[in-house]
Chains A and B, each alone.
Chain A
Amino acid sequence: MNCQLCQKELDAYREGLLPEGMRVQVENHLGNCIECAESFHLVSLSYQVIEEERRLRTNPFLVTRIMAGIEELAQNRENHQRSPSYQKVLKPLLISVSIAAAVFIGVMFGNIYLPTHPTNNLPVEMTYMNDAALESVDLFSQL
């Protein structure tokens, strides 16, 4: 038996599906060929890994978690169905009113902080300045 044929029959050998003659040939080959023996070890290990993963149990609270998730979903759906007017009319209305209120409050606060008295930054001389008596700019343009 060559390595190629042995590798091909490894699964069937592991599962005990080979006829007697073939089983003996595979066994003899595995006894002499390190490569195929290692392959067989890995194939067996892969099924061992699968078996170990299969034997794992679910989280004991999985059912409770699922039922809680479903309850929450159903609750959301009921709330959604119960208040279609809120979704369609009241929600956009509330958003518009909130924006308008925010703008109004902003303008109002802005006005509150406007200085009620003239600022003192203006020099006194400027206050008494008679603009009408000043020379017109047109005079300069005619020069």
Chain B
Amino acid sequence: MTDSEIIRQIVKGDRDMYRKLVERYQPMIFRTCMGFLHNKDDADDLAQDVFIQAYQTLAVFKGDATFSTWIYRIAVNASLNRIRKSSKNQFLQRFETVFGGEKSKEFSFPIPDSENPENILILHEHREWVQKALNSLPENQRTAIVLSKYDYLPQKEIAEIMNTTEGAVEALIQRAKANLREKLSALRKKNKK
């Protein structure tokens, strides 16, 4: 059953059909959210919000773009909004951390037990740098790199999602890679001092 057939049935009132769309797209949307937020719980919550938001506006989905492009747009916008909101709340979070409040839950990768503690610490620090560097990219570069590296989307589809040309996406990805490299080098140098 194609996406448009499912959507037609949902709009007619068959709510259960939406489950099929969710099952089909949830891994992709979750990966996109993960690419922006780097936190599993937050990405789960955001993916849930994205699907609910998509359901609420499904009636106005005209079908000019494919459903996947449309839901990716919702996911990207929701992720960027979440980041903007959380950066506004960062001051309060820092305040809470300083005064012994609950620490924000950061995602940490499972670390193999066999490695020695110093290596584990270095690896953990380097991973933090990578997340920091990714987070500090400008929004459009970040969107392009997330859709390209987390979702493996072709440049044509990224261009449709971002409402731009394929050439512009290519340029954004190259700039994002260069920026990422520079920021990582800067973080390395800063931590060496």
Q: Which residues of A contact B (CB under 8 A)?
A: 7-8, 10-11, 38-39, 42-43, 45-47, 49-50, 52-54, 56-59, 62-63, 65-67, 69-71, 73-74
Bound-state Cα–Cα, A49 to B181, Å: 14
Choose from A47, A50, A59, A67 the contact partner of B18 (Cβ within 8 Å): A67
> How far does the Cβ of A52 sit from chain B's closest Cβ, in whole Å?
6
Choose from A49, A57, A69, A70 the contact partner of B131 (Cβ within 8 Å): A49
The A contact surface, by secondary structure, is helix
Q: Is the CB of B129 within 8 A of A66?
A: no
List B contacts of A71 (CB < 8 A): 15
CB-based nearest B residue for A7: B181
- Say whether, besides A53-B35, A56-B34, A63 and B181 are in contact (CB < 8 Å): no
List A contacts of B184 (CB < 8 A): 39, 42-43, 46
Q: Is the CB of B181 within 8 A of A74?
A: no
Choose from B35, B44, B126, B131 the contact partner of A62 (Cβ within 8 Å): B44
> How far does the Cβ of A67 sit from chain B's closest Cβ, in whole Å?
6
Q: Is the CB of B188 within 8 A of A53?
A: no
Q: Is the CB of A62 within 8 A of B26?
A: yes
